[in-house]
Chains A and B, each alone.
Chain A
Amino acid sequence: MHTYLKFGVLMALIVGSLVWLAVGGVQDTKTYYKTIPELEKLDKTAQAGRLRVGGDVQPGSIVKSAAGVSFVLHQGATTLKVMYTGSDPLPDTFRDNANALAEGRLGDDGVFKANKIQAKCASKYEAKPPQRVVHQKAT
């Protein structure tokens, strides 16, 4: 039984430290998805945390410079100015009207400081072929 006790202790030690790492990792990187209207309604402490905000990229609003990329996300009538300063280049799918997800923090000036952008353009991967193609034929 002595050997099994040793195994038990070792395994508990390994599993325990991994759980500890995982819990810490979850707490530090957990980000909530918010829509733009929801973002405005959040209280100050929640606004200070890391967030993911989704919306469509307003056409013509993308401005690239060496400092970063700024653009405007909109959802219906509400808009949000975003400044992207992350290290990864923007995904190829990121362009006017793309559905984008900005991840970062809301600044005091109301500009969302993002360091990660994901984008999916509406037509990507699985379009709805029948409607779209029929439309093509009609034109």
Chain B
Amino acid sequence: MENVGALSLLIAFCLAVFAVAAAVIGKYSRRPLLTVSAERAVYAVWILVTTASGFLVYSLVTGDFRLAYVAAHSNKAMSAIYKFTAWWGGQEGSLLLWAWLLATYSAIAVYTNRRKFRDMMPLVTAIMMTVLSFFLGMITFVASPFRVLMAGRGVIDVGDGNGLSPLLQWWTMAIHPPFLYLGYVGFTVPFAFAMASLISKQPGEAWIHTTRRWAILTWLFQSTGVMLGMGWAYTVLGWGGYWGWDPVENASLMPWITATAFLHSVMMQEKKGMMKVWNMVLVSGTFLLSILGTTLTRTGLVSSVHAFAQSPVKPYFTTFLLSAIALTAFAIVKNLPYLKSEVKLESVVSRESSFLFNNLILLASCFAVLWGTLFPVLMEATTGEKAAIDAPYYNRVNIPIALFLLFLTGVGPLIAWRKSSLNSLKRAFLIPSVVGLAVIATLAALGIHNPAPLISFGLCAFVAATIVTEFWKGSRAIQLKEQLPFPKAVFQLTWRNTRRYGGYLVHMGIVILFIGFTGAAFNQHETRSLGLNQSMRFGRYDLKLLSVSNDENPNYQYSRGVLEVSSGGKVIDQLEPEIRVYKSSQEQSSFVGIRRRLNEDLYITFQGISPDNSKAIFQLYVFPLVSCMWVSYWVILAGTIICLIPGKVRLQYARTEVVGIASTRATVQS
């Protein structure tokens, strides 16, 4: 069976290489049959990779421990769902997942455009298939998931496997990698369209219209993946945080940053024909950073707490990445005249310039993170000394960037295109500025004097106020004109321009996210030891140790401390932090006790018993506002989904689209 799986991958690899050649030759020698054949090959590749994945999953679920991959990442005791998720629990399997997702995306992209862009599609196919051939080549020749265990010359069956790392046996972790991959891999499609349109010098901005939804959807997947990772780190790892600036975390963040910049700056190209070079750079950057991210997590290029070990795929990945960078750069530089901007910037105070600064600052942030992540590699290459830089570096650079971005989030959408007069600025920003300053003054009066959180909360209020006034003004106009109740007017307004108002909602989510980040400035933390039935005070909580127990179940042994939480003399909760030691892997894992509330979380980890056996040691934390982070995700999700729904204006005025938009705008703004 493993032979069928491996063979499917080998044939898929050959077909992918064929598709590249057929598409390119078909286009340039004008043989439409050859290009059609290339597109058919894409479907065949999808079927073959799906077959191979099916075989791997089947082996994992049924426990075919002759396969090295199955023996390493699955065992009999695991529940079926984790046996399935072991598909991406190790290097070979996760590369297979990468390939399968790309094959799926490619098939969808080719199918939905089968009658469109006949001139450009062969190149799109060729680019997607080039990337896919690389990944298929990796899992066929270098890191095959279908390798069998050999002892001497015979195949052996080991009976049971090592099992998935217990840290990964957690629901958010089970779905975190596929979501990140959906996002990482997904950007290959906009990248392929962008490059194809660049190389074949397509007139107009067709690639942007076609890939807008791809880009938004894959951005949503990336956001989901990063969020799930943060939620997992917070709940499972028990180090009392959600972000540690680890190289692997950075790897997932960087493409998200450039994708965010891309989503903003394509609007400039759509509406104004500006920033074409930026967009090319951003879409390529996102794609390349996705490859870099995969390289970092899969090859041990940078030492990290949770990177995979050194592996044979490293030189191939590095070569692929470097040649992709070189080719992309060459394509962009060679076609620079084609990317010439149609309009010039007119004023520093304009919507255009706010987009420009948004781009600049996002790229700066991405570069700062990239620099920090690759610093050890660069340092060792240049001076031979091993060194690394740490979280304070990232925070120092990124906090001012983040605050400036937050400011732009408020300013950008309200400022006029081309040039803004002082009067219009006053009209738009008077109320939000007053609200922001009022919040700062109130918080300062309440005793918060640390400047960064003060500024952050002030800006949050400012941005929230701009969004609320936008909704209010628009809905009010509709309410008066069409005699609708206010909530219906809000609905009407959003539906008329889903992109704009969905975008505002996403911005609102970002504001809530920033409130969550800023809460970290007020974190409290202590290590305390406590005897049985003793109490202690931490923050506004009284904690009493009720019991400490040691026990085991078939899967793991555990020690558990049971704490009674009371506040103001009333018992409000009971937390039971644990330490678990998993039997099969002998790995230890903390199980945090968390009392989640919107205003603050009480977060307790059990550290063990003191040497004289009289006291239990706990790490106690209070995390103010951390729940806002998780709330913000749902707001961002809702906003993004609204952005993806076609607006009423486009549907109703399909033929007179431009006029339609202009007239609604006028009524909305009056």
Contacts and interface: CB of A to CB of B under 8 A. Distances in A.
A129 B71 contact: yes
A125 B309 contact: yes
Contacts of B69: 129
A87 B156 contact: no
A137 B65 CA distance: 12
Given A14-B364, A29-B389, 6 more contacts: A3-B346, A14-B404, A31-B387, A89-B239, A89-B619, A125-B90
Interface of B: 65, 68-69, 71-72, 90-91, 149-151, 156, 158-159, 161-162, 165, 167, 237-241, 305-306, 308-309, 311, 345-348, 353, 356-357, 360-361, 364, 368, 371, 375, 385-394, 396-397, 400-401, 404, 525, 527-529, 585-590, 605, 607-608, 610-611, 615, 617, 619
Interface stretch (A74-82, A105-113, A116-124): A116-124
Interface in A117-139: 118, 120-121, 123-127, 129-130, 132-134, 136-137
B405 to A, nearest CB: 12
Contacts of A10: 348, 357
The main secondary structure of chain B at its interface with chain A is mixed
Given A87-B525, A92-B589, A134-B149, A63 B611 contact: yes
A129 B140 CA distance: 19
| Range class of the A interface residue count | 35 or more
Given A25-B389, A133-B162, A4 B345 contact: yes
A66 B240 CA distance: 17
A22 B585 contact: no
Contacts of A93: 587-588
A10 B350 CA distance: 14
A23 to B, nearest CB: 10
B71 A133 contact: yes
A88 interface: yes
Contacts of A64: 607-608, 610-611, 617
A33 B167 contact: no
Nearest to B404: A14
A89 B607 contact: yes
Given A65-B611, A92-B588, A130-B68, A18 B397 contact: yes
Nearest to B361: A14
A127 B91 CA distance: 11
A33 to B, nearest CB: 4
B387 A126 contact: no
A18 B364 contact: yes
B393 A127 contact: no
A66 B529 contact: yes
Given A25-B397, A64-B610, A14 B385 contact: no
Nearest to A24: B396
Contacts of A52: 388
A6 interface: yes
A11 interface: yes
A126 B91 contact: yes
A92 B590 contact: yes
A73 B388 CA distance: 20
Nearest to B605: A89
A33 B586 CA distance: 29
A21 B397 contact: yes
Contacts of A95: 588
A66 B91 contact: no
A25 B386 CA distance: 18
Given A129-B162, A137-B158, A25 B393 contact: yes
B386 A29 contact: no
Contacts of B401: 18
Given A64-B608, A129-B162, A3 B588 contact: no
A127 B371 contact: no
Interface in A14-69: 14-15, 17-18, 21-22, 24-26, 28-33, 52, 63-66, 68
